[in-house]
Structure 1
């Protein structure tokens, strides 16, 4: 009976500790009284664990006294009746009782109850919450004494209270574990990684650079604008007057397409005032600005106030879920079947490049915007087709240049040392 009671306390301890607070809170919000009580125990671990420890210690002492004083004497008497000398029967019986009691204490008092508590923590926690809360209140004077004594000794040793918070690494570790267990889909894990990665990036990392922006002069005719957007399909077009640095507004492709079919087409009818943000603003701050201003595009300026690029809602979504509208015939990464070599677009986001080879951890030490950014940083000049370099585990070769822009790169993996 004492061993089973010990098991109940052990099961209660591991169940409360292993329970998810979010689950208990959700059930408590629904009006579940047992969940509310379990939540109180969860939020006051000192009182609860001290109560459990008092109970387990008391049971252990009582078990030892009872088994030593009663069971061993009875067994010694039984052994003496079957012919074993009394001087041998007593120590043998004591040894056997210790082994038997220890075995059942471990199995029925510790291992099995704790396994049950770990497998069904919330169910067990809500089931035992109310009786454990009553026991905790009854043991309150002893608990307070133990708690104050523990705090005093810990402070004398110099150990400070651990106020550590959950980190991104811990969350991703749990997500990865969930994916391995089949509870989290691979695509969900990928999006979670991108969510945290994007939170560490500045706008300049994912914006469309000014060298790749197509702007529209406010002096262009109807036909000239149609010809321009046919060749350059973008979500957003800055509008300028006189010279390209003189941005007077911005139009979206959708607005432009609807206005172009009107008989009385006027570009000024659809021009919106540009909203500027600094290039060192975080991506999520930019997203908040879009929501506040009800826009899907922002002009990005450098430290001198000059246009550095454009960031759109599509750029942010691409950072979260990858390229959702990529042409299958124009993939950023193409595996060359005849050998371990890949033909990769130089403008691929650097994180996506590392992710393809499962080397995302390298991003922290080399947070480039694109693969081309890495190459330009290492070579320190505009490369020509055929130039090669090695970085980390990658061997890179420039395959094609589009003017000063790195278009295609051949990538192979260096042999592991």
Structure 2
């Protein structure tokens, strides 16, 4: 054969090898979520790609058969095609005993370089740019080859599966999408500009609900307004004026003995009808939803859904009331910074300091200050709890703790309760 014929055959082999290289990367890297979207849009080839991905051994076998066969042929034909011509070129400068060996080595180097660049590296990089589109193009030729070379595919797959079983290696891929995978996809979408910052934050808050306990969003015990059975009408009126809530707990002698709750609108009906205010009137008291303080916010939503109410009383293991939570409280966690609350728990004074309420949940502090974790944080839930845990005492005003590059200083105390903290960044000169 002439040099032109040899070159033509080499180009053909490189093209075939490039096809197999692109097929290997595209079929393996094509995203299942995107392929399912294409199937829903009526793209029949996408369903064939999904079927191939369920049995990756088949198309990998075809690809390897093609790549190895082409590589062997390319090596044989390349050596025969280029060695004599390279020897003729070198003979003018060197005509020693090593001429044939040098010509053969340069021929192998030339063919190998061509295959690496044009049959392997560049096709794979192109396939990685748009794996789904490339997979749609190559899937039908690959399926045809699977039918034509079915005996070889069966033989090689059987041997490979036998070896895997001997070493107890799974032969099927498990495609389990975890919350971490979805969060990573959301981060990538936000960086690429597909998701707006607010959308990303909203989705992140939704997934964060499973990790947050009910106590991180509740109204704490000391902030609850409730009625006592037999409470005077003047006292009830004052509480209604000072704290115009939609519902009030009704207790027997103390907060820990909850007997029900009352709707403030029902009290308003009594006032409008000129009747004396009474919380013990028949039909006024309703049975409250009682939940433990160990539930996550997701579980709280499930309780709201199943019970048909939108608030619950929270008890600890000693059957003491620790707080109350409403559907609005849960949704404020989901919406986060997308809605404005009447009073923020974390107020940024400047670039290096924040005022933080003592009852602020740790998760909110970690997010605002970009702190990954607090020490032994399973032992407390609020920033006030962190201070008590670190100080090992009931804090006083000006007590402080340095942690993770921040100084947490108590600035306000209310009846032994940390009301407010000042958090400042520790500068380099301060550390020195």
Output the TM-score relative to the length of structure 2.
0.83
Query: What residue is the counterpart of 2:341 in the other structure?
Result: 326
Query: What residue is the counterpart of 1:408 in the other structure?
Result: 420
Query: What residue is the counterpart of 1:132 in the other structure?
Result: 142
Q: What secondary structure, in the 3-state scheme, does the structure 2 residue paired with 1:295 have?
A: coil
Matches within 5 A, 1:93-112: 93-112=103-122
Q: What secondary structure, in the 3-state scheme, does the structure 2 residue paired with 1:362 have?
A: coil
Are 1:308 and 2:318 matched, yes or no?
no
CA drift at 1:135: 1.2
Query: What residue is the counterpart of 2:83 in the other structure?
Result: 72
Measure, in 2, the Cα distance between the counterparts of 1:116 and 1:241: 74
Change (3 A) 1:297 1:118: same
Matches within 5 A, 1:242-391: 242-251=253-262, 255=265, 259=269, 262-263=272-273, 267=279, 271-322=285-336, 324-327=339-342, 330-337=343-350, 340-359=352-371, 361-362=372-373, 365-367=376-378, 368-391=380-403
Query: 238-247 vs 206-215, which deviates more?
Result: 238-247
Query: How well do the aligned residues superpose, as a CA RMSD in angstroms?
Result: 3.1
Q: What secondary structure, in the 3-state scheme, does the structure 2 residue paired with 1:322 have?
A: helix
Q: What secondary structure, in the 3-state scheme, does the structure 2 residue paired with 1:377 have?
A: helix
What is the aligned length? 411
Q: What secondary structure, in the 3-state scheme, does the structure 1 residue paired with 2:373 have?
A: helix
Can you give the 5+ residue segments of structure 1 that lack an aligned partner in the other structure? none
CA drift at 1:302: 2.3
Query: What residue is the counterpart of 1:36 in the other structure?
Result: 47
Query: 94-103 vs 4-13, which deviates more?
Result: 94-103
Q: Is the 2:358–2:418 Cα contact (8 Å) retained in structure 1?
A: yes
Measure, in 2, the Cα distance between the counterparts of 1:143 and 1:356: 56
Change (3 A) 1:151 1:173: same
Query: What residue is the counterpart of 1:115 in the other structure?
Result: 125
Change (3 A) 1:313 1:230: same
Measure, in 2, the Cα distance between the counterparts of 1:371 and 1:256: 38
Q: Is the 1:236–1:297 Cα contact (8 Å) retained in structure 2?
A: no
Query: 39-48 vs 404-413, which deviates more?
Result: 404-413
CA drift at 1:228: 1.2
What are the Cα deviations for residues 8-27 of structure 1, in whole angstroms up to 9, with x where unaligned? Answer: 11111111111110121222
Q: Is the 1:198–1:320 Cα contact (8 Å) retained in structure 2?
A: yes
Measure, in 2, the Cα distance between the counterparts of 1:31 and 1:9: 26
Can you give the 5+ residue segments of structure 2 that lack an aligned partner in the other structure? 1-11
Query: What residue is the counterpart of 1:178 in the other structure?
Result: 189
Q: Is the 1:349–1:370 Cα contact (8 Å) retained in structure 2?
A: yes
Measure, in 2, the Cα distance between the counterparts of 1:262 and 1:141: 89
Q: Is the 2:256–2:319 Cα contact (8 Å) retained in structure 1?
A: no
Output the TM-score relative to the length of structure 1.
0.86
Change (3 A) 1:203 1:364: farther
CA drift at 1:131: 1.4
Measure, in 1, the Cα distance between the counterparts of 2:237 and 2:137: 71
Measure, in 1, the Cα distance between the counterparts of 2:148 and 2:420: 74
Change (3 A) 1:9 1:363: farther
